[in-house]
Structures are given as C-alpha cells and as structure tokens.
Structure 1
C-alpha cells in the first residue's frame, strides 16, 4: 500500500513538474496582438468622464456602456455635462458598443437577458453619480 501511494505521488509530481516547465510550453501571443483583446476605448471613456464636478443635477448624465448578448448596455457611467465633451464621449461609447457586439458575435457569448434600466445621474456633494433623479423619485 505504501509503495502504491509513493508511486502515485511521484507520478503526480512528475506531471506537475512537466506542466510547469517553461521550455515545454509554446509561447502565446501577447494580449495586445490577439484580435479579440479588449481595446482601450473603455479606458478613454473613463478618462473623458473622470471629472464629475457639478453644482446641480441638471448637469449630470448617465452614459450607456458596452453591450450584452441579449441587447442593452452592460453598465452605465455618470458624467458631468459641465466638464465633459459629450459628443466625443458618446462617439467613443458607440464605438465601444459596436466593438463589444462584434466580440459577442465572434465568441458566441450569452447573457441572462435581464433588463438593465438607466439609473440616471444626480449631483451629490458636488459630483455626479448614478442614481435616480429627484423627479423620478417623486413620480413613484
């Protein structure tokens, strides 16, 4: 029994050593070289919307980001119309959405098909953040 256990442990150790041997593995392409690697569009969008300074909720907007397999955005980002080039950020968001839709189709991704409503954006303590606007709360 002890010999069998020893043989089994040595076999596992040999498999583990071989699997970790860097000489035996083939190098993969760096992430940036792969065609399905994420672009830096989301990073650019976040940079353009980084300054969320506001003095009133009317200056706050929510931006739909990306795409889900069943449709609709993955998420929303708050931004300040006071501090953001809205045309540029919306163009980048559209490009990112198209890119995500292409990735979804290529990979055959699926999602849970839930409705992700726009949460709106409000000015809280001088910064735009996601959340129901006061008008939406009063209408409930």
Structure 2
C-alpha cells in the first residue's frame, strides 16, 4: 500500500513540475524577413537623404548671412555622416531640420537594430561660405 502512495506521490510531483514549466514555443528564425526589414530601412534612409539633398538644392543665396551648415546622418561611432551647406533664402530651416533629425534617428535605429559598425573616423567640421551665389561647405584644407 505504501508503494501505491509513493507512486501517486511521484506522479503528482511530476505533473506539478511539468505544469510549472513555461510552454515550449517553436521559434523559427526568419532570415528572409530580417533581410527584407533591413532592406526596407536602408531604402527609407536613402529616400530621406535624397529628400534632404533635393530640398537644399543648389543652395542659392544673395548674402553669406543666409548660409547655414547642416549635420546630416549618423555614423555608427557618432557624429554626422556628412555636412551640407544650405541657404535660408531657398529652404524653410525648420522643415529641413525636422527632416534631418528624422533621418538621423532612423539611421541610428538601423545601425543599432542590425549591429552596423563603422570606421570611427571623425569628420572635420567645415565652414559654410558663399561662393558664386551658392552656400558651400568648405573644409580648411580646401580654402
């Protein structure tokens, strides 16, 4: 009789232990979906970059006071991807700044999400000058 109770005890304990374990879920990695997501984000980043460049256009200005310098994009180690001179006479600075910030945030999210690495070089900050009626970002070595 003692063995019958022991058997029931072991069975009960086994059921209790099995009931406490989380259900096993089948997780199948979907590399195709990840690649599609990565490609979609890359396409969005590229489209936004083209919008920024298109918005700035030729950056025509009549006075150097209309020239500004924008930091565009994000490098994996920090800092902008590139600098771009623009003119406040041809661009709404608030709209451009908003687009640049959205682009930067998307690029940062992409880099974090997919573990993108960079060369960690620091780009020297250029100055923006008026040359031939256009706002241009010029590096010290180019002056």
Q: TM-score range by the shorter chain?
A: 0.5 to 0.7
Alignment RMSD: 2.5
Equivalent position of 1:24 in the other structure:
none
CA-to-aligned-CA distance 1:11-61 (integer Å, 9 cap, x gap):
xxxxxxxxxxxxxxxxx89x7994333212112111211141112222111
1:87 to 80, 94, 119: 94
User: Could you say which residue in structure 2 is the equivalent of 1:118?
Assistant: 125
Q: Which residue of 1 aligns with 2:3?
A: none
**Counterpart selection for 1:60 from 59, 67, 71:** 67
- Is the 8 Å Cα contact of residues 122 and 132 (structure 1) preserved in structure 2? no
1:119–1:46 CA distance, 2 compared to 1 (3 A): same
User: Is the partner of 2:41 in helix, strand or coil?
Assistant: coil
8 Å contact from structure 1 (residues 51, 84) kept in 2: no
Q: Provide the C-alpha distance between the structure 2 equivalents of 1:33 and 1:109, rounded to a whole number of angstroms.
A: 11
2:53 aligns to what? 46
TM-score (normalizing by structure 2): 0.65
Matches of 1:43 and 1:76 in 2, distance apart? 14
Q: Distance in 2 between matches of 1:120 and 1:99?
A: 26
TM-score by length of 1: 0.66
- Computing the radius of gyration from Cα coordinates, the structure with the larger value is 2
Q: Which runs of 5+ in 1 are unaligned?
A: 1-27
Structure 1's consecutive aligned runs of 4 or more residues displaced over 2 angstroms after TM superposition are 31-38
Show structure 2 runs of 5+ residues with no match. Answer: 1-31
